């Protein structure tokens, strides 16, 4: 590979790489605003100026190709002097309102002003004032005074979202960003511009003024909005999710995520309609009960049915561990192979960027577990038909609202003699249930999911439940690290009395006389990996933070 000298060290670069790209690969960050690795080069901020020997002028690292034998200085006296001058120029008309800006703590301008600014301004005239609180679209608000005209948002809409909506107008210090006439910034990926905006010019209306970045914990996880499984960070304050942001994974979602995943996939975790502890039906009404009472009620009812009269429905919203435990309970405890799950496709949702028509996060993982471990004798539709015909009288449903927007299924469920549900929120299906167990949401538990492309990925708890809080109390620090989150922040805020579905099912098995001793989701995964060929050799460490690809050939369709 060709080489050039960067700050006195000889480094390799790939033909066609720019100086800033080669430096980044080597671990050296050259200051920049307008450059982004997934966008075209615009070269308009000038902060990335570097000195190249034998060139008469400083050059911008974002658009200058690296060349064999080139000698580059990113910290020379000329470079630093020019960088400081550019920063002074950018700050002339900037409002310098860091104390009230949502970007504080994540702002490149703030960081570079500290690192490369002179500390005071020579500009004493009135700053140029521009429009503030401009609604560019349903999710994005614009503050023109903070904008440094890097054009990242314009290029993103055109190149990534494939929907040109923004442009520059005016010139000089009057330049600003507007939507095209008759347009608004409403593409399905618009909120990515708030991530890549290097200042506080573009802000998320849903998150605006809710918290400072240093007040929140950030936990690595995955989006559950569709089968893509975008890598995300869950931002939590006082045990409440306040925002989701994309996490870079070149094999899954790159740098991006859609607005639906960002806005619509976490609010049910914070909602007031969460199932707040176990409930059992008494005199026609669901009433709150203790865990032992709910376990006993469910088991005593299940024992009154023949195994052929009991069926199970898992969920592609639940983790692999949850679905594996349900399959094991059906096979080993009840002796039933009547298990299925509801598939959810939305032909209007998918696109050719990230979004998939399969709007559940773990369809493939659920299919693998059921087909490989249990080999069901009935699928979802077959189970509904058997209930309708009176052949199935008891149903265990895990993390699925079957009756939502479907009166036909709702009518079929009323024919059951027993309906047991693990649910995150109260819904139309829990209203029909005889026993309801409070299931932990995806942001409250450890586990794995398999996306549409066969990449198995990790979930980690970002929000504490009472069960998790008790489990962490007194746990060794080495084991606490496995939770991958700021457990010291969990002391504050409301904690819900919910448990992972796999743990609820394991407890039911124990009450029925078959001990399933698992203290962590990791132990469930270990047994799953030992039982199902496509997961063999895997563990949580090998899956890591970016996931790993598995190979799976779907079995023949069940009857």
The pLDDT score that the predictor gives to residue 136 is: 97
Specify whether the CB–CB gap between 330 and 542 falls below 8 A: no
CB neighbour class for 343 (10 Å; exposed up to 12, middle 13-18, buried from 19)? middle
Calculated CA dihedral for residues 477, 479, 485, 489, nearest 10 degrees: -40
- Reduce the DSSP state of residue 19 to 3 states and report it: helix
Q: How many residues does the chain have?
A: 559
In order along its 559 residues, the chain shows pLDDT tens digits of: 999 999 999 999 999 999 999 999 999 999 999 999 999 999 999 999 999 999 999 999 999 999 999 999 999 999 999 999 999 999 999 998 999 999 999 999 999 988 877 777 888 889 999 999 999 999 999 999 999 999 999 999 999 999 999 999 999 999 999 999 999 999 999 999 999 999 999 999 999 999 999 999 999 999 999 999 999 999 999 999 999 999 999 999 999 999 999 999 999 999 999 999 999 999 999 999 999 999 999 999 999 999 999 999 999 999 999 999 999 999 999 999 999 999 999 999 999 999 999 999 999 999 999 999 999 999 999 999 999 999 999 999 999 999 998 999 999 999 999 999 999 999 999 999 999 999 999 999 999 999 999 999 999 999 999 976 666 655 554 555 555 445 555 557 889 999 999 999 999 999 999 988 888 999 999 999 999 999 999 999 999 999 999 987 755 333 3
Instruction: Tell me the DSSP string of 165-229.
Output: -EEEES-GGG-EEEEPTT--S--TTTTHHHHH-SSSSEEETTTTTS--GGGSEEEEEE--SSTT-
The pLDDT score that the predictor gives to residue 558 is: 36
Domains of the chain: 3-91 (3.10.20.740), 125-270 (3.30.70.20), 279-549 (3.40.50.740)
Listed residue (202, 289, 195) closest to 243, CA to CA: 195
Listed residue (442, 523, 450, 441) closest to 482, CA to CA: 523
């Amino acid at each position: 590979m060709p080489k050039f000298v960067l700050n006195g060290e000889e480094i390799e670069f790939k033909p066609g790489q720019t100086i800033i790209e080669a430096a980044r690969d080597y671990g050296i960050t050259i200051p920049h605003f307008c450059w982004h690795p997934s966008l075209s080069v615009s070269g308009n901020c000038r902060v990335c100026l570097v000195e190249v020997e034998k060139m008469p002028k400083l050059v911008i690292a974002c658009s200058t190709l690296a060349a064999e034998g080139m000698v580059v200085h990113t910290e020379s006296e000329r470079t630093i002097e020019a960088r400081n001058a550019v920063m002074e120029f950018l700050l002339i008309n900037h409002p310098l309102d860091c104390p009230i800006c949502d970007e504080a703590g994540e702002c490149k301008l703030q960081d570079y002003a500290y690192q490369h600014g002179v500390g005071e301004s020579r500009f004493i005239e009135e700053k140029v004032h521009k429009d503030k609180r401009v609604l560019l679209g349903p999710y994005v608000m614009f503050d023109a005074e903070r904008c440094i005209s890097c054009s990242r948002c314009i290029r993103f809409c055109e190149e990534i979202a494939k929907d040109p909506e923004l442009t520059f107008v005016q010139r000089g210090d009057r330049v600003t960003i507007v939507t095209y006439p008759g347009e608004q910034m409403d593409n399905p990926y618009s909120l990515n511009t708030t991530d890549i905006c290097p200042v506080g010019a573009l802000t998320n209306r849903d998150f605006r003024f809710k918290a400072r970045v240093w007040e929140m914990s950030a936990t690595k996880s995955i989006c559950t909005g569709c089968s893509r499984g975008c890598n995300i960070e869950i931002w939590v304050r006082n045990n409440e999710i306040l925002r989701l942001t994309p996490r870079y994974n070149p094999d899954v979602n790159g740098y991006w995520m859609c607005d639906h995943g960002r806005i619509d996939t976490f609010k049910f975790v914070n909602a007031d309609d969460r199932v707040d502890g176990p409930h059992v039906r008494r005199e026609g009404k669901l009433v709150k009960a203790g865990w032992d009472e709910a376990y006993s009620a469910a088991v005593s009812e299940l024992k009154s049915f023949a195994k052929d009269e009991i069926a199970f429905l898992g969920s592609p919203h639940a983790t692999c561990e949850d679905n594996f435990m349900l399959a094991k309970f059906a096979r080993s405890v009840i002796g039933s192979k009547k298990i299925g799950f509801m598939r959810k496709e939305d032909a209007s949702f998918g696109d050719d960027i990230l979004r998939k028509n399969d709007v559940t996060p773990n369809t493939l993982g659920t299919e693998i577990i059921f087909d490989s471990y249990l080999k069901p004798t009935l699928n979802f539709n077959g189970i509904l038909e058997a209930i309708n015909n009176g052949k199935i009288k008891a149903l265990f449903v895990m993390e699925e609202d079957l009756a939502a927007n479907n009166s036909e299924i709702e009518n079929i469920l009323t024919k059951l003699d027993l309906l047991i549900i693990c649910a995150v929120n109260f819904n139309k299906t829990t209203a029909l249930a005889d026993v309801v167990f409070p299931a932990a949401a995806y942001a409250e538990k450890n586990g794995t999911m398999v996306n549409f492309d066969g990449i198995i990925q990790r979930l980690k708890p970002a929000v504490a439940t009472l069960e998790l809080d008790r489990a962490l109390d007194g746990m060794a620090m080495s084991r606490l690290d496995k939770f991958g989150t700021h457990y010291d922040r969990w002391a504050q805020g409301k904690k819900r009395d919910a448990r992972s579905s796999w743990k609820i099912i394991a407890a039911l098995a124990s009450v029925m006389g078959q001990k399933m001793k698992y203290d962590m989701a990791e132990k469930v995964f270990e047994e799953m990996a030992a039982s199902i060929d496509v997961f063999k050799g895997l563990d949580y460490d090998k899956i890591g933070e970016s996931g790993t690809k598995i190979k799976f050939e779907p079995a023949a369709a069940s009857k």
